[in-house]
Structure 1
């Protein structure tokens, strides 16, 4: 298998600079690998914010949980888009897995540093900058290529090369309970490509006509960008004008929930910081979390490599089990104070480590 440019390349910016007539099969395969890395990059910071909320029944916790399940679905769909044209998602390697804090992969949103910490107004602002469309209906300004524009370029390339679609090595999982568009489906036709990319873009950005997620778990659910902007502003987004249609964050208050006080994970992880060396109990949970995360990436990569459906389903099941195994050590760490007297706590590192054969 050819090793494609990794997480810390500038490849998305480079790919977007290539003229449309040059965007052939190799361009499409490289772009979809980068799309897989983009979808992976959002999950750890969103999970940390969600798990930091003490009351899981809180309205904001519910909103974040819906976003997380959407992003899991997006990762599955991006991987299927890659395998249907003969590629294989590359996830389980230090060159492709995120190592927070760092920028988004491929040069998307230059200057934006994605880190791991508990929920706050500032983390909500960061998340909205990740998800921001090119022309949001209620605006914040972020520079550079948007994720939505990148997916539009991928869709255009698929339309020129629909003959590449094979339907091979597809992972399938029913997730309708978490949203109308959340099933991970096989990509076997151009129609399936259109639907999958539509779900990814519209759940993240909304549409040019409305901030509402057209593939929701619940009626009126907003797209991710607007969910995060509501949390940041502390106000509901409401329509303030019909002609022209206009929305603003002037609705009912949205209180920031009580959270576990997870500090920002330093570069290289907690032990690398020097001043915040974890004790043995904290290090045990950090190791357990990193191993579970690494197994998750390994199982997913192997599932997409599997040539038979039974093996792929078994490996996907193991990946899901590893994902659910992340929560307990993460929340234990979020209750464990740092030794610096700041009143802040540890949190998961989401670091890929080489693991025994799983």
Structure 2
């Protein structure tokens, strides 16, 4: 099998998907799961920026914040499920490494959708109509149940996870149940608790959760593993915000949905600008002053410490040691919020209509 480069900017996922199924070895599966880790990590910073930017002064603001927060916790659980899948077959997740992290703005990792959706750019900004569109493109299924003529279908992240599932079926004898992290998080949603991947059924359950929370099923846009009543899968949540209308079932047989429900006003949000390539200091128009730089450094340090702690979590043989590192990671995650909120109150020096925000840059030795 072609060696897949462990680099965010490589076309690793394209190479993996082009490998014939009969050649998808155990090494292929380990490579694929590491690429999946990179995918899950890439979504968190954009969603966090959108969530922190929302001003919860209206019903639409509160609803948007609740929905995006639920999605963020789902994505964190997805990352945990993938890490468990990798360690159960003898792999070791790489998270605290600049080469596997998104250099925003950028495409999705591994060359995902380079031809059919070349315009997809993942970036950091506040919640806007454009960023809601970007979020929904990330989560889009192969065949959306509610689709307009101007929207294309394309190979989705779900198709990549299907390939991983098929490889697990071939290599199910390699599932050893080693270095598994078990954590109760059911209060965030039915599929959010981390469980041990000790069998093929466990791996398939984890993949089902990841796919269906993001894309829905081929029969319903609902999240089959909800955290609150009526929760839709991620794609349809973001599509509602973008379309400005609730998703509504418009036909029973065959079932069809469309964005013809009640209006959804775009919530008020702090006008965080788009973080330039390489961070705010890399653009002469957005160089931060000492106050903004201090908050950026706090956020970058918390992000880096979180990644180090997560990587350590899945290197532990003893559950109690894994729990300790996971607890540290959660603490660092919550430490991201304060500097982010402060930055969103600081105007850009040459564009006072927009604000700073976190840049999620990795610090190699926190």
The answer to whether TM tops 0.5 is yes
Which interval holds the TM-score relative to the shorter structure? over 0.9
The 2-side partners of 1:341 and 1:103 are apart by: 26
RMSD after superposition:
1.4
TM-score, normalising length: structure 2: 0.94
Cα offset, 1:144, TM superposition: 4.7
The 2-side partners of 1:46 and 1:174 are apart by: 23
Q: Give the equivalent residue in structure 1 for 2:219.
A: 209
Q: Give the equivalent residue in structure 2 for 1:330.
A: 340
| Residue pair 1:13, 1:107 contacting (<8 A) in 2 also | yes
1:70 paired residue among 47, 50, 74: 74
| Residue pair 2:30, 2:91 contacting (<8 A) in 1 also | yes
Does 2:91 match 1:118? no
Cα offset, 1:341, TM superposition: 3.6
Does 2:146 match 1:138? yes
| Residue pair 1:291, 1:355 contacting (<8 A) in 2 also | no
Does 2:43 match 1:35? no
* Aligned ranges 1:89-108 → 2 under 5 Å: 89-108=93-112
1:222 paired residue among 229, 232, 235: 232
2:301 paired residue among 291, 302, 319: 291
The 2-side partners of 1:244 and 1:310 are apart by: 51
Query: What number of residue pairs does the alignment pair up?
Result: 355
Q: Deviations over 1:233-257 (max 9, x none)?
A: 0100000011221100010011111
Q: Give the equivalent residue in structure 2 for 1:87.
A: 91
Cα offset, 1:25, TM superposition: 0.1
Decide which moves more: 148-157 or 182-191: 182-191
| Residue pair 1:129, 1:142 contacting (<8 A) in 2 also | no
Secondary structure of the residue aligned to 1:343 is strand
Cα offset, 1:4, TM superposition: 5.4
Q: Give the equivalent residue in structure 2 for 1:234.
A: 244
| Residue pair 2:4, 2:15 contacting (<8 A) in 1 also | no
| Residue pair 1:117, 1:264 contacting (<8 A) in 2 also | yes
Cα offset, 1:98, TM superposition: 1.5
1:185 paired residue among 167, 186, 195: 195
Secondary structure of the residue aligned to 2:193 is coil
| Residue pair 1:92, 1:297 contacting (<8 A) in 2 also | yes
The 2-side partners of 1:142 and 1:115 are apart by: 21
Decide which moves more: 115-124 or 218-227: 218-227
The 2-side partners of 1:242 and 1:212 are apart by: 15
| Residue pair 1:109, 1:143 contacting (<8 A) in 2 also | no
Secondary structure of the residue aligned to 2:44 is helix
The 1-side partners of 2:49 and 2:309 are apart by: 22
The 2-side partners of 1:186 and 1:42 are apart by: 24
TM-score, normalising length: structure 1: 0.97
| Residue pair 2:51, 2:69 contacting (<8 A) in 1 also | yes
Secondary structure of the residue aligned to 2:100 is coil
Cα offset, 1:145, TM superposition: 2.9
The 2-side partners of 1:251 and 1:270 are apart by: 40
Cα offset, 1:304, TM superposition: 0.7
- Please, which runs of 5 or more residues in structure 1 have no aligned partner? none
Secondary structure of the residue aligned to 1:95 is helix
